[in-house]
A = this chain, B = another copy of it.
Amino acid sequence: MGRLAVIAGGGTLPVRIMHANPGALFVAVGGTDCQPPDGAEVLPATFERIGTLFKGMHAAGVTDVVFAGGLVRPRLNPLKFDSRTVALAPRLMHAMKQGDDTLLRAVVAAFESGGFTVRGATEVADGLTAPAGPLVGPAPGKTDLADIGRAAAILSALGPLDVGQGAVVAQGLVLGIETAQGTDAMLGFVADTRGRFRREGGVLLKAPKPGQDLRIDMPAIGPGTIEAAHRAGLNGIAFGAGRTLLLDRDEMSATARRTGLFLYGHEV
């Protein structure tokens, strides 16, 4: 691997990866709230000018790229497109209608066609995932394990349709299935609407879809997920063992301990 470029989305993951890869190029995509670490070489960029981005990365000696911190569907102004973006646009627009997986595969293909190797975050930094079994807090009880199993069955059923990286189940009752709005929105919905059911506790399962490209779209949980799960009255969070990003791990573990939620690696 030659020089790495970190395509910085949001949150703390881009900086974490920069620290693990001294000399990496920090690509600040328009609109990111990420601050580059001190002394890092920064390349400002926009997805409206992919040709310019690719040239800048080649000029900086970049051979490998990692997308870090969530690639939200950007609102682009077609008037600003450079010729490479114009050439890619039909494929990306078409992919955008097929679902996230297809779109992200098209983005990966675009970077590969530009001569870059796309790496997953877990390839370039250690300690971002955890193995199967209890990670923080009490081990899940029998009911929790049954709820995790039911949530896993739902995610498996939906995976081929490119839907669902998360589900909430409480004592067998399905209270939330993640859609495009994401995990936190689903947990807010559960918090707001579960009152009429006499089902205590419950679990959130976050896990990748079968066939999901983990280089660019690995499911992720962080301290905010724990807080939202706590507000939703859940007992804990299960995550796909080795296949889910654990963001801000120390703070996340502290939040889990404070709220009493378990974190559990589920074998997927």
Residues of A within 8 A of B (CB): 73, 75, 97-99, 150, 153-154, 157-158, 160-161, 163-164, 171-177, 179-181, 185, 189, 193-194, 196-198
Contacts and interface: CB of A to CB of B under 8 A. Distances in A.
Nearest to A177: B177
B172 A161 contact: no
A97 B193 CA distance: 19
Contact of A174 (B160, B180, B185, B193): B180
Contact of A97 (B164, B171, B185, B197): B171
A232 to B, nearest CB: 12
A180 B158 contact: no
A180 B167 CA distance: 12
A73 to B, nearest CB: 7
Nearest to A170: B180
B176 A179 contact: yes
Given A160-B157, A161-B153, A197-B73, A180 B173 contact: yes
A217 B194 CA distance: 21
